[in-house]
Amino acid sequence: MESDQDGVAQHEDSPLSHVTRSEVEPRRAAASRNGNRVDKPRIEAAVREILAAVGEDPDREGLQDTPARVARMYAEMFAGLHQDPRAHLRRLFTQKYDEMVLVKDIHFESMCEHHLMPFIGKAHVAYLPQGKVVGLSKIARVIEVLARRPQVQEKMTEDVADLLMNELDARGVGVILEAMHTCMSIRGVRKTDSVTTTSAMRGTFRTNASTRSELLALVYGGR
């Protein structure tokens, strides 16, 4: 991770290294990436613009608080941009358990980066430990952080798998995401009940077919 160079106090949940920073970057952008912050006044101004652009009057009574409300909502939906999911994986426990650990049905809400509309679903996360395990709730925390970013489902699936593979020192990681995309259900093709499934397999889950089918049986067996 890059060190903090612009004089802003480093927040505990510092940004991931994929957030690149350059000398010429506007100061405000750099500052907002350093804390758990989203530039809400800027969102408010933009929402007013959108309302005006669709032919509304942003000053009419019912819309007066809308820009501020939307800004708070976006700050919440995109809070994961300013948090490091690895913070939840620092405490590992030594455990002589080498069978599959599966956390099923972790509910998540994320935001499709193509339409800025939510996609909502469940994550199923499995790993094969190698002498170290992590608290089960921490996996749900990781999903929560990674979900709260603008992205596509495919990328989120791979990010979860790569992060856990790196941080848990596991023999393998398997991630399955199932989600309903509101950008598909209320506009465009209007496929209201279609669910998109994505998976990312790492280590033994990728190389060993029986490990993979054990995971699929555990996730889908009861359905």
Q: Could you list the active site residues?
A: 112-115, 153, 181, 183
SS (H, E, C) 92-106: EEECCCCCCEEEEEE
Least separation in angstroms between CB 49 and Zn ion: 21
Of 112, 128, 146, 160, the one binding Zn ion (CB under 5 A) is: 112
* Complete DSSP assignment for 15-78: PPTTS---TTS-HHHHHHHHTT---HHHHHHHHHHHHHHTT--TTSGGGTTHHHHHHHHHHHHT
Least distance in angstroms from the C-beta of 51 to Zn ion: 21
Pick 121 or 174: Cβ nearer Zn ion: 121
Question: Judged by CB, which is closer to Zn ion: 35, or 118?
Answer: 118
3-state secondary structure of 168: helix
User: Which range of residues in 62-70, 108-116, 123-131, 172-180 is near Zn ion by CB under 5 A?
Assistant: 108-116
What is the β-pairing status of strands 150-151 and 101-112? parallel
Quickly tell me which residue has 């996360």 as its tokens.
Answer: 125
State the first-to-last Cα distance of the chain, in angstroms, to the nearest integer.
43
Contact map string, positions 144 to 183, toward Zn ion, x by CB under 5 A: ---------------------------------------x
Counting every residue, how long is the chain? 223
Q: How far is the CB of 117 from Zn ion (least distance, A)?
A: 6
The pattern of x and - marking residues 114 through 143 that bind Zn ion according to CB under 5 A reads xx----------------------------
User: Nearer to Zn ion by C-beta: 29 or 116?
Assistant: 116
Q: Which one of the spans 37-45, 110-118, 120-128, 136-144 is the region binding Zn ion (CB under 5 A)?
A: 110-118
Residue closer to Zn ion, measured from CB, 112 or 146: 112
Smallest distance, Zn ion to C-beta of residue 171, A:
35
Cα dihedral 18, 47, 122, 151 in deg (nearest 10) = -30
Q: Is 185 exposed, middle or buried (0-12, 13-18, 19+ CB in 10 A)?
A: middle
- What residue ranges bind Zn ion (CB under 5 A)? 112, 114-115, 183
